[in-house]
C-alpha cells in the first residue's frame, strides 16, 4: 500500500488537514470533500491531550473503513511513537508530524506507513530524508514563502516537499513553480462554520476550488 499512497500524494497533491471536527460530522464532511475531488485526508491527534488518542484513532478507523478504496486516511500532529501504532492498527495510511523525530519516522516505516515529518531548515529537511521520510512537510511555509522553497530545493532536489501553513488558492501556483510536491490544506477547506451548519455542498465547492488549481 505504501507505494500507492506515495503515488496518490504525487498525483493528487492535496492532503486535507482535519482538526477538532465532531465525530458525527466526519463522514458527511469527508463525503463532501470526496465529491470535490479530495483523495487524501488526515485526522490530527490532540497535542493538549484533551481528546484521547484512542478517540482520534477510532475516528481514523471509521473513515478508513468507510472510504476504503476511495480515499487514503492518515494521522496528523503525530508526536509520540504510540500514536503511530494506534494509526496503523486503525488502518491509517500515512503519518504527518509537526517536527523531525527520528523515532517516529523509523516507527512509521517499520509499520509500513508513509512518513511525512515536518521540517523548516535545510538541516532538518536533510535529516528527515536521511531518517527515511517519504515526503517532508515544510512548516510553516508562509513564514518564508516560495522563494525559500526554490532556494532549498536547489541543493536538496531529491527531497519531496509538502507546503503547509498559510497556503491558499491564490498562492498554490507559485509554490508548485518553486518545486513543491504537494500541499496540506486545513481551514481553507475545513470551514467549521459551514460544517456545523450542515452546508456540505459549500465544502464540496471549496474542495473543487483547490483541486482545480493543481489539475
More confident of the two residues 153 and 169: 153
d(CA 152, CA 159): 10
Sign of CA dihedral 22, 79, 161, 12: negative
19: alpha, beta or left? (left if phi > 0; alpha if psi -120 to 50): beta
- Domains held by the chain: number: 1
CATH number of the domain encompassing residue 194:
3.20.20.70
Question: Taking all residues of the chain, what is their mean pLDDT, rounded to a whole number?
Answer: 97
Contact predicate 77/97, CB 8 Å: yes
**pLDDT (tens digit per residue) in 110-148:** 999 999 999 999 999 999 999 999 999 999 998 899 999
**pLDDT (tens digit per residue) in 16-73:** 999 999 999 999 999 999 999 999 999 999 999 999 999 999 999 999 999 999 999 9
Q: pTM for this structure?
A: 0.97
pLDDT over threshold 80, residue 14: yes
* Tally of residues, the chain: 215
d(CA 65, CA 90): 9
Expressed as residue numbers, the domain containing 203 is 2-212
Cell of 33: 470533500
Amino acid at each position: 500500500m505504501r507505494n500507492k499512497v506515495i503515488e496518490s500524494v504525487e498525483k493528487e497533491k492535496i492532503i486535507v488537514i482535519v482538526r477538532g471536527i465532531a465525530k458525527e460530522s466526519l463522514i458527511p464532511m469527508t463525503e463532501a470533500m470526496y465529491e470535490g475531488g479530495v483523495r487524501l485526508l488526515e485526522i490530527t491527534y490532540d497535542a493538549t491531550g484533551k481528546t484521547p488518542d484512542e478517540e482520534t484513532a477510532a475516528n481514523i478507523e471509521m473513515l478508513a473503513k468507510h472510504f476504503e478504496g476511495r480515499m487514503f486516511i492518515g494521522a496528523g500532529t503525530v508526536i509520540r511513537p504510540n500514536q503511530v501504532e494506534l494509526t496503523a492498527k486503525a488502518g491509517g495510511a500515512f503519518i504527518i508530524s509537526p517536527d523531525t523525530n527520528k523515532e517516529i519516522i523509523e516507527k512509521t516505516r517499520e509499520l509500513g506507513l508513509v512518513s511525512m515529518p515536518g521540517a523548516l531548515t535545510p538541516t532538518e529537511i536533510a535529516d528527515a530524508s536521511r531518517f527515511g521520510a517519504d515526503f517532508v512537510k515544510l512548516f510553516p511555509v508562509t513564514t518564508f514563502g516560495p522563494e525559500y522553497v526554490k532556494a532549498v530545493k536547489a541543493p536538496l532536489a531529491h527531497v519531496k516537499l509538502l507546503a503547509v501553513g498559510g497556503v491558499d488558492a491564490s498562492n498554490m501556483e507559485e509554490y508548485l513553480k518553486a518545486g513543491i510536491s504537494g500541499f496540506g490544506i486545513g481551514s481553507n477547506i475545513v470551514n467549521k462554520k459551514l460544517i456545523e451548519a450542515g452546508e456540505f455542498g459549500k465544502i464540496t465547492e471549496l474542495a473543487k476550488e483547490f483541486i482545480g488549481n493543481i489539475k
